[in-house]
Structure 1
Amino acid sequence: MTKIRLDLLLVERGLFPTRTKAQAALMAGKVRVPGKDRPKAGDLVMRDAPVEVLADACPYVSRGGLKLAGALDAFKLGVAGRVALDLGASTGGFTDCLLQRGAAKVYAVDVGHGQLDAKLRADARVVNLEKTHARDLDPAAFSPRPDLAVMDVSFISLTMVLKPLLACLARPAAVVALVKPQFELEPKKTPKGIVKDDAHREEALTRVRDAAAALGLREAGVIESPLAGAKGNREWLVYWTLR
């Protein structure tokens, strides 16, 4: 009998609708495979291998929701009743997390299009602002103004999007950003998109924190992401307040 990647097997058996959701559950430790302490998406297993999916496997449309949930819990940051802006929404993991925690409205902003999960596109609380570049945010597009912003952007530095973001927020406001070191550093420090040097990781985080402070943001907390990023990169979530 042939072997197959574990994430593909989970989809093939109908346990998850997409590989992305299967991978999210695996990263969250919500899939059990006999003989494997911490099964990974790329593990090759027999097609008839026994697998167990825990009942609470990835409650969000993508594993990004697990990252934000970890931050909201760590920072004791309430979401209920708030108007939020999700910058770099993509599939909508952050947006889904915000809605499940009671957000009244979420502006889902992304430079791409057609990525937001169908469940979220159909939710009346979601304003889908696709094909919108972070640097081109227009304050007039947000009514009412959000008092909470969350960010998960790729292929651009957070230092380049903080200023246009802040122009769109109400006062006071809270900001939570996922810091991805591979997008904050020069290419020579990120071979194959991977940041291996602890000093470089610290440099990336410091750049973002300094840029935020220069714009008047007050740092209220920072944690390492509960899940690793692409290619195993370590990431951080930073919480700021804005007055």
Structure 2
Amino acid sequence: MTENKPMRADTYLHFTGHTKSRQSAKELIEAGFVEIDGRRVVKPSEMVDAALPHSVGILQKERYVSRGGHKLEAALDYFKIDVTGMTAVDIGASTGGFTDCLLQRGAARVFALDSGSGQLAASLLADGRVVNIEKFNARRLCEGDAGPVPAGTKADIATIDVSFISQTYIIPGLKNILRDKGLFVSLIKPQFEAGREAVGRGGIVRDNKYHIASIKKVIECARQSGFGCLGVIRSPVLGGDGNTEYLAAFVFGEDLIPPGDGAPRRLLEITATGKGDMT
């Protein structure tokens, strides 16, 4: 790649050293945090003439290796989860936004688990607290395979951020890697829980009933697997495709009282407005 060749905005930001990676540049642009020559960049694919000098403004500095860190941060803050000294398993680690957040919050060790490979940020690969587990299908947890966690070790907390698969294929296996009273935080994505009929143009799930159904589906699966739901909130950050997502927290071995008659109303409020919670 040469400096005088037109290039995508996300590539330009990374090439000129404004971001740690092209992926982080893409996420900053999609979140509306990038200006070039005083104009807001709307799409990562916008072309920039690299032969000319440009003024680049990053309206929000990167705190995590990906914006996933901001999502988990919201859940840890809302549910008052202190991960200091904890052993964690990050399922669907990808670039490592959740892993990064856990480490910055004081986790002692994080097993970063993903079905792919070569995705985890270099800074996390170099961190001695991170164990990078690649090409591991999390469905194997349901078969009693605790691959990412050494024999005799039980994690204190797990996080789930997966795509193109329902979490209901993973949640039942969490009991094989979590200690009693262990926690897990789930990023619920309606586009992968509600079925194809729910996904509209652009891959967006717009009908609120599918959002509610997706949340209920994950909560019920967790309940049947021995987890009590601590609550649900709307993610403050949209998914990369523009879908609204939700964060739910659970505790293993707690027989919590199921939501009462007001639960449907509260879910409707969460999904429709982003306000309130289901605790």
Q: What TM-score do you get using the length of structure 1 for normalisation?
A: 0.88
Residue 96 of structure 1 is matched in structure 2 by 100
* Cα RMSD after superposing both structures: 2.4
Deviation at 1:171, TM superposition (A): 1.1
Deviation at 1:88, TM superposition (A): 0.7
Q: Distance in 1 between matches of 2:109 and 2:160?
A: 16
Letter in 1 for 2:92: G
After TM superposition, the structure 1 = structure 2 runs for residues 70-149 of structure 1, keeping only pairs within 5 Å, are 70-137=74-141, 138-139=145-146, 141-143=148-150, 144-149=153-158
In structure 1, the gaps of 5 or more residues are none
Residue in structure 2 matching 1:13, options 16, 19, 31? 16
In structure 2, the gaps of 5 or more residues are 254-279
Deviation by residue 1:184-204 (Cα, 9 ceiling, x = unmatched): 122122145321211111111
Counterparts in 2 of 1:134 and 1:27: CA distance versus 1, 3 Å: same
Counterparts in 2 of 1:114 and 1:195: CA distance versus 1, 3 Å: same
Task: Give the secondary-structure state (helix, strand or coil) at the position aligned to 2:25.
Answer: helix
State the percentage of identical aligned residues: 42
Counterparts in 2 of 1:238 and 1:127: CA distance versus 1, 3 Å: same
Task: Give the secondary-structure state (helix, strand or coil) at the position aligned to 1:84.
Answer: strand
Say yes or no: does 1:31 pair with 2:34. yes
Say yes or no: does 1:201 pair with 2:211. yes
Residue 188 of structure 1 is matched in structure 2 by 197
Residue 155 of structure 1 is matched in structure 2 by 164
Q: Distance in 2 between matches of 1:164 and 1:136?
A: 8
Deviation at 1:81, TM superposition (A): 0.3
Counterparts in 2 of 1:183 and 1:117: CA distance versus 1, 3 Å: same
Do the aligned residues in 1 keep the contact of 2:29 with 2:44 (CA within 8 Å)? Answer: no
Q: Distance in 1 between matches of 2:83 and 2:99?
A: 11
Deviation at 1:22, TM superposition (A): 1.3
Residue 240 of structure 1 is matched in structure 2 by 250
| Structure showing greater Rg | 2
Counterparts in 2 of 1:158 and 1:6: CA distance versus 1, 3 Å: same
Q: Distance in 1 between matches of 2:233 and 2:30?
A: 18
Residue 271 of structure 2 is matched in structure 1 by none
Q: Distance in 2 between matches of 1:102 and 1:156?
A: 30
Do the aligned residues in 2 keep the contact of 1:6 with 1:40 (CA within 8 Å)? Answer: no
**Residues 161-170 or 5-14, more deviating:** 5-14
Letter in 2 for 1:154: S
